[in-house]
Amino acid sequence: MRDRTTDGTSRVAAPGSTPGLEVARVRWSVAGRLIVDDVDCTAPPGAFTGLLGPNGSGKSSLLRLVAGITVPDAGTAAFAGTDLASVRRRERARRVAFVEQEAAAETPLRVLDAVLLGRIPHRSLLAGDTDADRHLAREALARVGMAEFADRSLATLSGGERQRVHVARALAQEPSLLLLDEPTNHLDVAAQLATMTLARKLAADGVTVLAALHDLNLAAAACDHVVMLDAGRVVAAGSVKEVLVPAVIEQVYGVRCDVLEHPATGRPVLAFS
């Protein structure tokens, strides 16, 4: 299986281009339980990579390790050729932004203020927001299609709108690598599709996007590249058509499926039986 992983990834990254995210032999355990087991994977630059796998397969943990929020027991995560562990925290926060699942504030917060938090790594901790910060924050809101919500209270937004605000906060960090942890959780189908479209758009703008995803069909429809985890290990990685095949799905999830072709996009559609 490991062989296939390396094959799949090396084919996607164009030779000679700057490398995207390269995770090498990352291992992490908590309370004696191995959660991430010697993971090698890549996310090509300027592409939308989906991190797939069942509950507890280590998707969120791997994202947190890449973001530097937890420290791996072994292994490295490098972006654009730089080991992220060797970069100072604040500097790393200017390159890598992480949107966790369901982050909630305990106090009432204006949408623009929430987005402005993303500017913190870019300025002295003693300094306040500048006009440039406010401009960038509004721009980030516009990129996620939430410009007119700037002065609303975060608490009055729907789940999908809040998710977009969190992405805008991450964009305000001006990252080259954007990590999304199950960004479509608890969203209705329209909001799910909108989130995936947004991720594709950001990737097209040059941001390397790595998202933990639950819904295989969403991943099949939107991702450029996917990595399949099971029990903390990479089972398969490569293009959607290479990874989302009945054999892999059955091995990882224990369910049978047929892979159809989407009549409009030609992308795979999984029909479970």
Partner 1 sequence: MPTTTTPTPAPTTAAAPARRRDPRAAVWVPAALVVLVASVVGSVMVGAADLGAADVGRTLVTHLGLGGLLGVEPLPALQDATIWELRMPRVLTAAAVGAGLAVCGVVMQALTRNPLADPYLLGLSSGASFGAVLVLGAGVALLLPLAAFVGALAALAAALLLARAMGVMTPTRIVLAGLAVSQLAAAATSFVVFWSAQGDAYRDILSWLMGSVARSTWTSVAIAGVAVLVVGGLLASTGSVLDAFTFGDTAAAGLGLDVQRTRWVLLVGVALLTGALVSVSGAIGFVGLTLPHAVRMLTGARHRLLLPLAGLFGASFLVWADTIARTVFAPRELPVGIVTAAIGAPVFAVLLWRGKAV
| Binder of partner 1 out of 7, 18, 108, 158 (CB under 8 A) | 108
Across 21-131, the runs of DSSP E, i.e. the strands, are: 21-30, 33-43, 48-52, 74-79, 82-83, 96-99
Taking CB under 8 A as the criterion, the residue among 37, 38, 73, 110 binding partner 1 is 110
Residues that contact partner 1, how many (by CB under 8 A): 40
- Binding range to partner 1, per CB under 8 A, among 49-57, 102-110, 210-218, 236-244: 102-110
For residue 126, state whether it binds partner 1 (rule: CB under 8 A).
Answer: yes
Which residue(s) pair with 96 in the sheet? 177
45 binds partner 1 (CB under 8 A): no
**What is the smallest separation between the CB atom of 221 and partner 1, expressed in angstroms?**
28
CA distance 115 to 167: 9
Q: Identify which range of 4-12, 19-27, 40-48, 120-128 contacts partner 1 by CB under 8 A.
A: 120-128
CB of 123 or CB of 200, closer to partner 1 = 123
- Please name the residues in contact with 39: beta carbons below 8 A apart, sequence gap of 6 or more: 23, 25, 26, 27, 58, 62, 75, 229, 232, 233, 234
* DSSP labels, 213-268: -S-HHHHHHH-SEEEEEETTEEEEEE-HHHHSSHHHHHHHHS--EEEEE-TTT--E
Subset of 72-91 contacting partner 1 (CB under 8 A)? 88-91
Cα torsion 127, 129, 130, 133: sign = positive
Q: Assess 32 for contact with partner 1 (CB under 8 A).
A: no
CB of 93 or CB of 235, closer to partner 1: 93
List of residues contacting partner 1 (CB under 8 A): 64, 67-69, 88-94, 97-98, 100, 103-110, 113-114, 116-118, 120-121, 123, 125-132, 166, 173
